[in-house]
Amino acid sequence: MKKLFDVPDSYKEHITKFDSSDGFLALEIIVTYFVVMTISGIIVQYISQLQITIIGGGINVFFVVLVLLCLKMRHQGIETIGLKEGNIRLSFVLGGTLAAILFFCNCLSNVLFEHQSFIDFADILIYFVYFFTVGLVEEVLFRGYLQTRLHSLLKHILLDVLVTGVLFVLMHFPFRMVAYDMSFWEIISNVRYIADLFITHLILSYIRIKSDSLYGAILPHWVSDFAYRIVTHI
């Protein structure tokens, strides 16, 4: 059991190289992301679904590029956010298994047992690309960049994971509050929704840390969101 939760030396080596300026920079990027999500919640009320997808995808790519620029500025490699080296095979085995389960639960089970149908093929292709950018940016920002840099401030891997998890959950609030006119208490009182987000974070964090690779977290995140949106849910 202990071996199951052992943290690889390569992960420990990466996170101990950062100083407090890395931690605060990561927090600044997350705050900026929160602000952009809030503004996006306002904009989506006045544009079409296709425009939402295009603009949203652009924002996602922008923040991935921003993280890469910060890495370059701080003379850090992409391996420090899990995009190089690590146990990539283990990462894909864990992430691929989870992705297959989520695809069945979020998509195939609805088609097979709930008699729901797939959306138009053109929309499926659009969502295929869009939700890849969603999975990519959220994993790069939270499990890749923030969680590792927070160690310079928190000094404990479990605290890194828990605080990142709280911020990951809260990240979903601004957009919903503005776009759907929901209060903070309306969202937080949805215990199932909050628990689902936090448990998802813990599972993806486990894959990211155990393999010291982000690929196995990106894959199921992408597949889960994509699979849910390509059926009608009547």
The model's pTM is 0.94
Q: Which residues, other chains included, contact 52 with Cβ-Cβ below 8 Å and sequence gap of 6+?
A: 44
- Collapsed DSSP state (helix, strand, coil) of residue 118: strand
Residue 2 has pLDDT above 70, yes or no: no
* Calpha distance 38→200 (Å, rounded): 23
141 lies in some domain: yes
pLDDT band at 232 (very low <50, low <70, confident <90, very high): confident
87 lies in some domain: yes
Residue 231 has pLDDT above 70, yes or no: yes
Residue 143 exposed, middle or buried by CB count within 10 Å (0-12, 13-18, 19+) = buried
pLDDT at 1: 60
234 lies in some domain: no
Q: What is the tally of structural domains in the chain?
A: 1
Residue 185 exposed, middle or buried by CB count within 10 Å (0-12, 13-18, 19+) = exposed
Residue 173 has pLDDT above 70, yes or no: yes
* Calpha distance 196→203 (Å, rounded): 11
26 lies in some domain: yes
Segment 3-24 shows an average pLDDT of 92
Segment 141-151 shows an average pLDDT of 98
Angle CA 103–191–104, to nearest 5: 10
146 lies in some domain: yes
Segment 168-196 shows an average pLDDT of 93
Q: Give the closest residue to 207 by CA, choosing from 41, 115, 85, 91.
A: 91
Question: Which of 48-62, 108-122, 162-176 is predicted least confidently?
Answer: 108-122
Residues facing residue 118 across a β-bridge: 231
- Collapsed DSSP state (helix, strand, coil) of residue 156: coil
**Percentage of the chain surpassing pLDDT 90?**
89
139 lies in some domain: yes
Domain that holds residue 42: 3-229
Residue 4 has pLDDT above 80, yes or no: no
* Phi, psi of 231, rounded to the nearest 5 degrees: -115, 160
Return the residue matching tokens 């009320």: 45
pLDDT band at 233 (very low <50, low <70, confident <90, very high): low
Q: What is the mean pLDDT of the chain?
A: 94
Contact by Cβ (8 Å): 41, 176: yes
pLDDT tens string 84-135? 888 999 999 999 999 999 999 989 888 888 888 999 999 999 999 999 999 9
pLDDT at 3: 73
Segment 56-76 shows an average pLDDT of 97
pLDDT tens string 91-102? 999 999 999 999
Dihedral, CA atoms, 225, 100, 87, 217, nearest 10 degrees?
10
